[in-house]
Amino acid sequence: MLHTLHTSDAGRAVLLVAGLLMGFGVAFGTMGLSWQTGAIGLGFALAALAGVAQTCSA
Amino acid sequence: MEGTRTHRRWLQRATVYALSMTLAGATTGVAVAAAGWGVEALVPDAKAPLAIALGAVALAYAAHELGLLRLPVPGRDWQVPVEWVQEGFYRSAVIFGGTVGFGVFTRVPYATLPIFLAWLFVSGNVVIGLTAGLVYGVLRAASIYSSASTKQPEDVISLNERLMSFAPFQHALSGVALAAFGAYMLIAPVL
């Protein structure tokens, strides 16, 4: 589904907005905690994604 | 019998390659986080402004990964020289896996890697640098085992083509992840 969405400008914008909403959701959902706590979770997700993505180096 | 021995040797070599790559990823993570720790010791109040700036950069790269704008991704078009890996059954695996595993010396096709490293710098935490570097290294190295069943050169080419076909999906996924990360870093430190 991501592949199909990625092919049109509207699809790209939808993916960008979806990502933004996710980030805002996590930020507001973890209010009261130190902001570094949420950043650690998201940072580890980035680490995993960076590792897997490098496999498809195109 | 001979086939079993050959396969075992391949598996041992693949594991040496994977371990070297994982250790190199962890080394990069520790080095970047230690640099960030040093800066934090010198400028204690810089963390939140740096995080917000990183959020803005991550958003720009989210748009890049989704194809909405084009930005240069920091990286080098350098490849491990052939002469480095011509000798030694295991030594060549150590050199190749170790060199590529650092992540910063060779081609970086996705912006998730530089943003991930920038986050380690901002975190300034060596333990996080070590563990996140290990996560990166293990997941990057694991793909070597997907070629365990390949026997002919054409099998390897076919596997490579299959992996490459996931690239557009990976770019889209990277874009979404970077947008989420960027949005969080922009807003969370000021909430």
pLDDT tens-digit readout, B78-133: 888 888 888 888 899 999 999 988 888 888 889 999 999 999 999 999 999 999 99
B184 touches chain A (CB under 8 A): yes
Domain assignment of residue A16, yes or no = yes
Whole-prediction pTM value?
A: 0.91
- What single DSSP character describes residue A49? H
In the A/B pair of chains, how many CB contacts fall below 8 A?
A: 176
- ipTM for the assembly: 0.91
A14 touches chain B (CB under 8 A): no
Domain assignment of residue A25, yes or no = yes
Distance from CA of B37 to the nearest CA of A (A): 14
Domain assignment of residue A26, yes or no = yes
The structural domain count of chain A equals: 1
Question: For the residues B45-71, what does the mean pLDDT come to?
Answer: 95
User: Quick one: closest CA in A to B160, which residue?
Assistant: A56
Top mean pLDDT of A41-55, B47-61, B83-97 is at B47-61
Question: For the residues B154-176, what does the mean pLDDT come to?
Answer: 86
B180 touches chain A (CB under 8 A): yes
Domain assignment of residue A6, yes or no = yes
Is residue A56 within 8 A of residue B163, CB to CB? The reply is: yes
Q: Which of B25, B66, B164 sits opposite A56 (nearest CB)?
A: B164
Is residue B95 within 8 A of residue B23, CB to CB? The reply is: no
Partner A, chain B 64-103, Cβ-Cβ below 8 Å: 66-68, 103
Domain assignment of residue A58, yes or no = no
B127 touches chain A (CB under 8 A): no
Residue A8 lies in domain: 2-53
Are B188 and A38 in contact (CB < 8 Å)? Answer: yes
Length in residues, chain B: 191
Domain assignment of residue A21, yes or no = yes
Closest CA to A51 of B94, B24, B153: B24
